Amino acid sequence: MSKIKAIVFDWDGVIVDSMPMIALAIQETAASYGVQIAIPEIFVKFSQPKEAFYKSIGVKAESKEELNARHAAGDDKYLINTRLFSDVRLIIKKLREKGINLGIATQRMDTGKVAIRNEIEAHGLQMFFPFENTLGGEVKKEQKLLLLAKKFGITPSELLFVGDLPSDISAAKKAGVKSAAIARHESGKARLKAMKPDYFLDSLTNLLAIC
């Protein structure tokens, strides 16, 4: 098995405890189309791409652009003052000390009020996740992972992607990188384990044993 030389993280639900905020934005967006969905159901069902998720819960959006605009408005309203998970700062520091390259691959946008780079700066993490190693926006995650592997000068099999959604594990498999699933909320564990990731994390602390 190839030695892991880089770890790329999803942002929301892995680094920051933002899924409850995102769920509120989703609930409001769905309601604007006449679809009612409870927050616990969002936790159980949400996956990327978000357009496919909205369709799966009965949202009939005639325009992808309009759907994205409504969702973005919800993010701007609710996705503020996010909190780092308690295991983040110490573990990423230890990983860097071990010589592991670190990056972010997220669907959070690169621009706007809740831009990923703004949030990285707000949490003081730019020394661990420099902007050139942070890829946001609508490009598919598997493409982002391959771009980051190339940037780090490693093969895909030497990169580990840590995500909290089934779509994250699927993206890792498509890119040929290793996958690690972490369920920050109990409701997400079963569906993540069903994806058969290479690793299942109870905490980011587990990464120290993997690397």
36/91 same-domain check: no
Tokens for 84?
């780092």
DSSP 152-172: HT--GGGEEEEESSHHHHHHH
Q: Which residues of the chain have pLDDT under 70?
A: 1-2, 110-114
Residue 126, domain extent: 6-17+83-210
* Other C-beta atoms lying within 10 Å of the C-beta of residue 165: 25
135/113 same-domain check: yes
In this prediction, residue 111 carries a pLDDT of: 65
In this prediction, residue 112 carries a pLDDT of: 65
Q: What are the start-end ranges of the H helices in 82-135?
A: 88-97, 116-122
Examine the fold and report which residue of 78, 106, 121 is the final residue of a domain before the chain moves on: 78
* Other C-beta atoms lying within 10 Å of the C-beta of residue 5: 18
pTM of the model: 0.92
Structural domain contains residue 1: no
In this prediction, residue 81 carries a pLDDT of: 87
CA–CA dist 175, 163 (Å, integer): 14
In this prediction, residue 108 carries a pLDDT of: 86
Examine the fold and report which residue of 27, 51, 78 is the final residue of a domain before the chain moves on: 78
* Chain segment 157-189, per-residue pLDDT in tens: 999 999 999 999 999 999 999 999 999 887 778
Structural domain contains residue 93: yes
Structural domain contains residue 102: yes
63/102 same-domain check: no
21-25 own/partner pairs: CB under 8 Å, 24+ apart: 21/78, 21/79, 21/80, 21/82, 22/46, 22/75, 22/78, 22/79, 24/74, 24/78, 25/71, 25/74, 25/75, 25/77, 25/78, 25/79
Which helix or strand (DSSP H or E) is residue 7 part of?
A: strand 6-9
